[in-house]
Structure 1
Amino acid sequence: MDRDKLSKLLLNTYRNAILSWMILLALVLLTFVSFMDGRYTWGVLSAFAICIILLPGSFFKDLSIMPPWYLLMLVALPLVGNAIDYHLFPTSIPHYVSVATIALLAAAEINWFTSVKMDHKFAILFVFITTLAISGLWYLMQWLLDINIGTSFILDGRSQETINTEVMYEFMYATVAGIVAGLIFGWYFGHKGRSTPSGIRFPSKDEQDIPAYTSTRPPEPIRKLLRISQKKQELATRVMQACLLIMTFAGIYLKDTHVVLNAIAALGITFVPNVLTRKYYISLDPSLTLWITLAVFLDALGTLSFYETVARWDNLTHALSASVIAAAGYVIIRAIDIYTDDLYIPPRFMFIFILLFVLAAGVIWEILEFLTDEMVVMFEMKAFLTQHGISDTMRDMLFDLLGALAVAAWGTAYLSDISHRIARRIESFSASRNEK
Structure 2
Amino acid sequence: MSEINKNNIIDKRKTLVFKVVFVLLALSVVYAVVMLINAPSGVSKKEYEYVKTDYVLMILQCVVGMIVIFLPSRVEQKFGIDIPDIMEIIYFIFLFCAIYLGEVQNFYYRIPFWDMILHAFSAGMLGALGFVIVDFLNHSEKSHIHLSPFFVSLFALCFAVTCGVVWEIYEYTADHILGTNMQKFMTADGTVLSGHATLGDTMKDIIVDLIGALVIVSLGYVHLRKKERRLAEKRLKQAEKVQVVKN
TM-score by structure 1 length? 0.36
TM superposition outliers: structure 1 runs of 4+ over 6 Å: none
Q: CA deviation at 1:314?
A: 0.6
Alpha-carbon distance between aligned partners in 2 of 1:334 and 1:281, rounded to the nearest angstrom: 12
**Structure 1 unaligned blocks of 5 or more:** 1-228, 415-436
Q: CA deviation at 1:401?
A: 2.0
Alpha-carbon distance between aligned partners in 1 of 2:77 and 2:110, rounded to the nearest angstrom: 40
Alpha-carbon distance between aligned partners in 1 of 2:16 and 2:219, rounded to the nearest angstrom: 25
Match for residue 307 of structure 1? 108
Alpha-carbon distance change, 370 to 240 in structure 1, aligned in 2, over 3 angstroms: closer
Alignment counterpart, residue 385 of structure 1, candidates 179, 182, 188? 182
Match for residue 403 of structure 1? 212
**Structure 2 unaligned blocks of 5 or more:** 1-8, 37-54, 186-197, 225-247
Alignment counterpart, residue 94 of structure 2, candidates 292, 295, 299? 295
1:333 aligns with 2:134: yes
Amino acid at match of 1:385: M
Higher RCO structure, 1 or 2 (CA under 8 Å, sep 6+): 2
Alpha-carbon distance between aligned partners in 2 of 1:372 and 1:261, rounded to the nearest angstrom: 9
Alpha-carbon distance between aligned partners in 2 of 1:362 and 1:279, rounded to the nearest angstrom: 24
Contact 1:236–1:290 (8 Å) recurs in 2: yes
Q: How does 1:326-365 map to 2 (within 5 A)?
A: 326-339=127-140, 340-341=143-144, 343-365=145-167
Q: Secondary structure at the match of 1:311?
A: coil
Amino acid at match of 1:307: Y
Alpha-carbon distance change, 286 to 411 in structure 1, aligned in 2, over 3 angstroms: farther
Q: CA deviation at 1:284?
A: 3.8
Alpha-carbon distance between aligned partners in 2 of 1:327 and 1:267, rounded to the nearest angstrom: 23
Q: Percent identity?
A: 25
1:274 aligns with 2:73: yes
Match for residue 35 of structure 2? 254
Alpha-carbon distance between aligned partners in 2 of 1:338 and 1:282, rounded to the nearest angstrom: 11
User: Which deviations, in whole Å up to 9, do the C-alpha atoms of 1:399-428 show, x marking residues without a partner?
Assistant: 2123313432456879xxxxxxxxxxxxxx
Alpha-carbon distance between aligned partners in 1 of 2:57 and 2:128, rounded to the nearest angstrom: 27
Contact 1:319–1:399 (8 Å) recurs in 2: yes
Amino acid at match of 2:96: F
Q: How does 1:52-91 map to 2 (within 5 A)?
A: none
Q: CA deviation at 1:250?
A: 1.4
Alpha-carbon distance between aligned partners in 2 of 1:362 and 1:392, rounded to the nearest angstrom: 13
User: Which deviations, in whole Å up to 9, do the C-alpha atoms of 1:327-383 show, x marking residues without a partner?
Assistant: 343333333333322x3321133223322333333334334433443x34xxxx431
